[in-house]
Amino acid sequence: MSPAAASREPLLVRTVELPDDHALLDRLPDSAPLAWSRRGEGLVAWGRAARLELPAEDERSGGGRFAAAAEWLGSLFSRVEAHDEVELPGTGPVVFGSFTFDGRDPGSTVVLPRVVVGRRAGRAWMTTVDDASAPVGAGGPARPVGGLRWSPGALGAGEWTGAVAAAVDRIRAGDLAKVVLARDAVAEAPGPIDIRTPLARLARDYPDCYTYSVAGLTGATPELLLRRAGERMESLVLAGTRPRGGTPEEDAALAATLLASVKDTEEHAYATESLRAALGPLCGELVLPERPELLRLANVQHLASPVRATLRPGVSTLDAVAALHPTAAVGGTPTPLAMDVIGELEGMRRGRYAGPVGWMDADGNGEWGIALRCAQIDGARARLFAGCGIVAGSDPEAELAESESKFGAMRAALLD
Ligand SMILES: C=C(O[C@@H]1C=C(C(=O)O)C=C[C@H]1O)C(=O)O
């Protein structure tokens, strides 16, 4: 825990309006950038006024890390003296967070940045913590990444398809209904990777995704765990995937097979049902579509269910995040068994991949995604992740191809 968080000193937080004349990501400096942005709107930030990094928990999926973060935030926000001339979701004190997939992994991180710049609906603003004279960023050009050396992750392709086949056997034996198996790959650059380079490319190539970076975990996720503004919240459930076609005809045919696929609609239904079960008790109203729609991204197309809900009074944003995670879109059904099978078969630790990532203000407004299509970038090293939902009808080779398509987003973003 940083000294700033442990102290009782007041934090002077000032939000001022800015001219809306700058692309958000262009404001970022090179060093440890924080970002959450979609279609040019969102938040970027830098510097650290306070930082929480959590150790491993004893229990894999207990909500301990979310409760610990909530307690830390309660004490942090109680010290804030805010002067906010904009008063929108995302103004005043804002933290960025990134939680581990499994509670037994260390490294869940929450940061109160020194400077935040936001942009939404034609308005722009800057928030500073204890530094009202901080210059508004104009970070300078991002450095190209340079030639990468690739090495396989924990499991080679053959080993990973073996793990998928083992998962299919477990599912057919009736042990569980669905499990999401992920793999990793490692890239080494000639020098420290300037995170702004992949961020800019992801934002350009994946305009429908949320481009994010928190403590080096950088990616563009299509999957919104929750967006909250006041009592209203939204979510987007994804599960069921096909590649994009090379021609419009091929693309449409792939979409049609996805929408008609029993395997994929079943895989999707596990994910919507896990959301309904997790969120139901926390919500007044909860509206799910009857059948999924199609979400097309540059590399893949998904079955998608947009969800609307109203949170019951007294339910905090982190309560909802803790209840939703891990969804069947990244864990499986039933969750505890799926977590065991992941631990047994994946052969790696996920760290913060497939965990909640996002931001929140002192009123609980915020946006949290599932950290997918990402890499953990530390210095010159990037560790990429991609996972696939496995059900009884899964074919290991097709899942391997799907994981390659999912790696594709980050691979391309790191290329020169
Ligand atoms: C696990 C990932 O993606 C998840 C799995 C999907 C699937 O198996 O069809 C689709 C979207 C995501 O919920 C990933 O991208 O790493």
Residue closest via CA to ligand 1's atom 4 equals: 329
Architecture of 3-414 per CATH? 4-Layer Sandwich (3.60)
Residue-wise pLDDT tens digits, 244-283: 999 999 999 999 999 999 999 999 999 999 999 999 999 9
**Helical segments of 86-224, H only:** 157-172, 196-205
Specify whether the CB–CB gap between 356 and 149 falls below 8 A: no
223 lines ligand 1 (CB under 6 A): yes
Mutate to test the pocket of ligand 1, among 357, 370, 388, 400 (most ligand atoms within 8 A of CB): 388
Residue to mutate (ligand 1; options 210, 238, 402; most atoms within 8 A of CB): 238
Question: What is the pTM for the complete model shown?
Answer: 0.95
Give the closest residue to 354 by CA, choosing from 392, 379, 389, 395.
389
Q: How far is the CA of 135 from the centre of ligand 1 (A)?
A: 40
| Domain boundaries along the sequence of the chain | 3-414
Q: What is the DSSP letter of 320?
A: H
- Whether omega for the bond prior to residue 198 falls within 30 degrees of 0, making it cis, is no
409 lines ligand 1 (CB under 6 A): no
pLDDT in 10s for each residue of the chain, 416 residues: 444 445 688 999 999 999 998 899 999 988 889 999 999 999 999 999 999 999 998 765 567 999 999 999 999 999 999 999 999 999 999 999 999 999 999 999 999 999 999 999 999 999 999 987 777 766 778 999 999 999 999 999 999 999 999 999 999 999 899 999 999 999 999 999 999 999 999 999 999 999 999 999 999 999 999 999 998 999 999 999 999 999 999 999 999 999 999 999 999 999 999 999 999 999 999 999 999 999 999 999 999 999 999 999 999 999 999 999 999 999 999 999 999 999 999 999 999 999 999 999 999 999 999 999 999 999 999 999 999 999 999 999 999 999 999 999 999 999 96
Alpha-carbon distance of 42 to 242, in angstroms, equals: 29
Q: Is the CB of 302 under 6 A from ligand 1?
A: yes
Kindly give the number of the ligand 1 atom that is closest to the alpha carbon of 271. 13
Asked if residue 96 lies in contact with residue 139, where contact means CB atoms within 8 angstroms, the answer is no
